[in-house]
Amino acid sequence: MTELPVPRVRFAPSPTGYFHVGGARTALYNWCVARRGEGQFILRIEDTDRERSDAAWTEGILSALSWLGITWDEGPYFQSERRALYAAAAERLYAGGHAYACDCTREAVEARTKNNAVPGYDGFCRDRGLAFVPGHALRFKVPDEGTTVVSDLVRGEVEFQNSTIEDFVVMKSNGDPLYVLAVVVDDLDMQVTTVIRAEEHLPTTPKAVLLWGVLGEGRPLPQYAHLPVLVNERRQKLSKRRDRVAVEDYRALGYLPEAMVNYLALLGWAPADGREILSRDELVAEFRLEDVNRSPAFFDEKRLAHFNGLYIRALPTAEFVERCRPFLYGAHGLFEPTSVDEAAFARLAPLVQERVATLGEVPGLVAFLFAAPFSPDAVAFEKAVLRDESAGETLEHMAAAVERGALDAADLRAALEQIAASTGRKLGKVQAPVRVATLGAAAGLPLFESLEELGRERVLERLRAAMARIDERG
RNA sequence: GCCCCCAUCGUCCAGCGGCCCAGGACAUCGCCCUUUCAAGGCGGAAACACGGGUUCGAAUCCCGUUGGGGGUGCCA
């Protein structure tokens, strides 16, 4: 095999909204290519549109990338700080006769082209010889004939008839560059070898190829790779406005970054042997752009949750405990820091760990221990305690056992088994009223271990409170 | 409208001419395990959009149709 050139890739998001999972996947694939080829991953913020860009969004992008472990070797570069470069390129295009100034308003163009067979700008200013001065936009002179070919790693050769490409604007009349110009200037300047981005950019790629042809000084085009878009349940491109897809949201919900990375990698790609659980290193070692498939993928939260569950269960318990903290009383937490008994949580952690798919579900499982006023679920209480004929008897028996000194899980279990045996019912059946009365919910952590952790005092208190409510009912 | 892309179970992938009356995973259904719920184990249902070619042979190659998507901005 021949020596591959060292890849220089870039991830170039625009800071115009929450950083979403589609962008994260694009970044990840870029990162894999850079790491695998021992090249560089460049981060470039495309904020040429001053109207829509916001530094706050940039912050979000950086923090989400860091959270995912996608590190960059260069940048972040900001296009807003590189305006002189774009202006110089525009000047060269104009001076070389590859572009011309245009003063047409959008309305004027529309009025003229309404009845034209060919849509888009009609080349009205091509030969008017307007000066390239403030107030005039600059349009690239697209050849009338011929074809422009985009050679794409995932899609093959894509051909465009030049006649279908309009004379597009490269500099706005206010002096701001357009994305397509800035991208070409930057990719050239940053020596980018491989452009990996979403499919929505494919239709503008021939424009970039054309620009590269005149600005590139003969340097070879970058290798393009257009990834299929991520879609919602209606099969439309994920939208920041329509769909909940912000990486931040998933973080707050308790998804692990390594699970997210693993899941994202598999959206449009799979390793040769079909394995689904891949470490970061395995991903880097096996990822190939050539194997990325071409059709859009649906971001399936259920499947993500499954992956997340696997990752959570694979965590050493101590680390699981560590990662739970923010969800107990930290940034995303539900409880008062003072009401959380760390040692108790740590003891219960193994039981919690195998029952959650996200860290956000953790507080719910230990709420019986840490939630300030204890209030059992009303529906569950009605069903398991109030409407169960023998509930009162069961609760009394348990209370008596605890008073006699039954404190650990084994004692408590023995006590309940006694009731089960004497009434000929299954243990699962008789534990229901006890569970709801003391833990507050019909489902949750194993009963006896939970009671042991709750402690004699609180268990008795809750059992008595439940018995009192039964008495009230008559 | 015009340009471009795409098309295997509900979903994500495997399949790159014979190993496929199509395989794995999620979801779903059933059973087992079980102190609830999970987790885990076992099993079931579930797809090559359609029509033409090419070929001894097509999920795989070609053409068309249909369907979906993206672009069409002095957004990125």
Measure, in angstroms, how far nucleotide B38 C1' is from residue A356 CA: 8
| Widest Cα–Cα separation across chain A | 102
**A252 within a domain of the structure (yes/no):** no
User: From the C1' of B70, which residue's alpha carbon is nearest?
Assistant: A200
Instruction: Say how far A198 CA is from B49 C1', in Å.
Output: 26
Which pLDDT score, from 0 to 100, does residue A4 have?
66
Same domain for A356 and A213: no
Q: Please, are residues A273 and A255 in contact by the beta-carbon 8 Å criterion?
A: no
Domain containing residue A434: CATH number: 1.10.10.350
Mean local confidence (pLDDT), A218-241: 92
Do A387 and A366 belong together in one domain?
no
Considering the domain boundaries, does residue A282 fall inside one?
A: no
Do A421 and A348 fall into the same domain?
no
Name the protein residue, with chain letter, whose CA is nearest the C1' of B14. Answer: A274
Q: Which nucleotide is nearest to A303 (CA to C1')?
A: B26
Nearest to A205 by CA among A234, A190, A227: A227
The pTM (predicted TM-score) of the whole model is 0.95
Could you tell me the sign of the dihedral formed by the alpha carbons of A422, A399, A440, A312, in that order? negative
Neighbours of A179 (CB within 10 A): 18
Residue nearest to nucleotide B1 (CA to C1'): A119
The label of the residue with tokens 């860091």 reads A66
Domain match, A406 and A346 both: no
pLDDT in tens, A266-302: 999 999 998 999 999 999 999 999 999 999 999 999 9
Measure A224 CA to B61 C1' (Å): 25
Based on the structure, what is the number of domains in chain A? 4
**Residue A321 lies inside a defined structural domain of this protein:** yes
Rounded distance in angstroms from the CA atom of residue A290 to the C1' atom of nucleotide B62: 23
Distance from residue A313's CA to nucleotide B39's C1', rounded to whole Å: 9
Clarify whether residues A201 and A65 are in a common domain.
Answer: yes
Q: Are residues A423 and A446 in the same domain?
A: yes
pLDDT digits (tens, 9 = 90+) for A1-42: 445 689 999 999 999 999 999 999 999 999 999 999 999 999
pLDDT-above-70 percentage for chain A? 99
Task: Tell me which residue of A312, A310, A330 sits closest to A320, measured CA to CA.
Answer: A312
Q: Is A144 a member of any domain?
A: yes
Place of tokens 């069903």: A383
* Protein CA at A294 to nucleotide C1' at B67, angstroms: 17
Query: Are A383 and A429 contained in the same domain?
Result: yes
Domain membership of residue A459 as a residue range = 378-473
Please provide the average confidence, as pLDDT, over all residues in chain A. 94
Give residue A2's pLDDT: 47
CA quadruple A77, A83, A88, A90: dihedral sign:
positive
Task: Using the C1' atom of nucleotide B36, identify the protein residue whose alpha carbon is closest.
Answer: A443
Nucleotide B27's nearest residue (CA vs C1') is A302
Average pLDDT over residues A135-150: 96
Q: Which residues contact A205 (CB under 8 A, 6 or more apart)?
A: A150, A158, A224, A226
Listed as ranges, the nucleotides of chain B within 7 A of a protein C-beta are: 1-8, 10-15, 23-27, 35-40, 68-76
* Residue A182 located in a structural domain: no
Q: Is residue A160 part of a domain?
A: yes
Task: Give domain status of residue A257, yes or no.
Answer: no
Q: Pick the catalytic residue: A172, A240, A383, A429?
A: A240
Q: What is the ipTM of this complex?
A: 0.95
Are residues A69 and A204 both part of a single domain?
yes
Rounded distance in angstroms from the CA atom of residue A96 to the C1' atom of nucleotide B20: 59
pLDDT score at A427: 93
Q: Do A343 and A417 fall into the same domain?
A: no
Nucleotide nearest to A176 (CA to C1'): B74
A155 contacts A224 by C-beta, under 8 angstroms: no
Specify the higher pLDDT residue, A238 or A191.
Answer: A191
Measuring from the CA of residue A158 to each C1' atom, give the nucleotide at the shortest distance: B4
Place of tokens 């243990």: A427
Nearest residue to B6 (CA, C1')? A295
CA of A108: nucleotide with nearest C1' = B74
- pLDDT at residue number A1: 41
A240 is catalytic: yes
Task: Quick: pLDDT tens for A51-106.
Answer: 888 999 999 999 999 999 999 999 899 999 999 999 999 999 999 999 999 999 98
SS3 A172: coil
Tell me which residue has tokens 């209606």.
A234
Q: Which nucleotide is nearest to A204 (CA to C1')?
A: B71
- The more confident residue out of A282 and A372 is A282
Nucleotide nearest to A119 (CA to C1'): B2
Does A303 map to a domain?
A: no
What is the per-residue pLDDT for A186?
98
